[in-house]
């Protein structure tokens, strides 16, 4: 048996999806948010005996201010297979990505002003 690998494929309409390999038998998968197991996690075989489709519905409780992490693990071994995070709310105002976007906007403004200055002095 090869090392289990859970590869994220997409997050769509509130459901995280991934492909799990490395299990010859049906895996016992668990997803948790803040240490609490989530309901509705499904694991279905994908034609090929070694591929399993994993679906994790994102609960409304995970949609709140700040950074929320959902951890997907093997219930039998306790090994973490994958995780995903959701960022939302007003806490994003202090997020580094918003700071970088603000710096880019200010840099663009400075570039325009510098070019205008160079044209006027020539």
Confidence of residue 91 (pLDDT cuts 50, 70, 90): low
Report percent pLDDT > 70 for the chain. 93
Q: What is the DSSP string of 24-68?
A: SS---EEEEETTEEPS--EEEEESEEEEEEEEEEPPGGG-SSEEE
In sequence order, the 6+-apart residues with CB closer than 8 A to the CB of 56 are 15, 16, 17, 18, 31, 38, 40, 41, 70, 72
Q: For the full predicted model, state whether its pTM sits above 0.85.
A: no
Provide the pLDDT for residue 24.
85
Give the Cα separation of 117 and 122 in Å (integer).
9
Element (H, E) at 7: strand 5-12
pLDDT at 6 over 80: yes
Q: What is the CATH number of domain 5-88?
A: 2.60.40.1130
């Amino acid at each position: 048996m090869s090392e289990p690998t859970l590869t994220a494929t997409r997050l769509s309409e509130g459901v995280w999806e991934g492909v799990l390999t490395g299990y010859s038998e049906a895996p016992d998968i668990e997803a948790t948010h803040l240490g609490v197991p989530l309901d509705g996690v499904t694991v279905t075989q994908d034609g090929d005996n070694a591929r399993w489709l994993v679906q994790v519905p994102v609960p409304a409780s995970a949609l709140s201010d700040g950074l929320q992490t959902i951890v997907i693990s093997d219930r039998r071994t306790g090994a973490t297979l994958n995780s995903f995070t959701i960022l939302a709310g007003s806490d994003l105002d202090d997020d580094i990505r918003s700071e970088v976007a603000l710096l880019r906007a200010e840099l663009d403004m400075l570039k325009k002003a510098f070019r205008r200055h160079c044209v006027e002095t020539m």
